[in-house]
Amino acid sequence: SQQGEEDPQALSIQEGENATMNCSYKTSINNLQWYRQNSGRGLVHLILIRSNEREKHSGRLRVTLDTSKKSSSLLITASRAADTASYFCAKRPNAGGTSYGKLTFGQGTILTVHP
């Protein structure tokens, strides 16, 4: 089963509105990462939050992490048409050895921002 389940599966908003995407996971993590994918392209890293952090900001992005609820949220403020893309969360397990390498992705949220 996939770790890092996301909702909503699709989100459609108008330019200027905020977009919130959620990610849940099942087992202990070392860090959680958010990625963006434009149609037909590879993924691009947006932001990483560690298990001992609760909130991080990067430009118009705000990520929160609640380890007690095993969930994270990505907020994009003042969205633009150029933010239209798929957004994925990925979790890095809190494991030793090579198991630390099992970065697993959720199914993603398709965000459409209408001009």
Partner 1 sequence: NAGVTQTPKFQVLKTGQSMTLQCAQDMNHEYMSWYRQDPGMGLRLIHYSVGAGITDQGEVPNGYNVSRSTTEDFPLRLLSAAPSQTSVYFCASSSWGDTHNEQFFGPGTRLTVL
Closer to partner 1 by Cβ: residue 36 or 83: 36
**CA pair distance 37, 26, nearest whole angstrom:** 24
Backbone angles phi, psi at 52, to 5 degrees: -95, 10
Q: Is the dihedral of CA 65, 67, 68, 73 positive or negative?
A: positive
Closer to partner 1 by Cβ: residue 15 or 59: 59
> Which stretch in 16-24, 33-41, 61-69, 76-84 sits in contact with partner 1 by CB under 8 A?
33-41
**CA pair distance 31, 114, nearest whole angstrom:** 32
Is 44 near partner 1 (CB under 8 A)?
A: yes
Is 51 near partner 1 (CB under 8 A)?
A: no
Q: Hey, how many other C-beta atoms are within 10 angstroms of the C-beta on 106?
A: 24
In three-state secondary structure terms, 78 is: coil
Is 82 near partner 1 (CB under 8 A)?
A: no
Is 57 near partner 1 (CB under 8 A)?
A: no
Q: Which residues bind partner 1 (CB under 8 A)?
A: 2, 4, 30-31, 33, 35, 41-45, 48, 88, 90, 92, 98-108
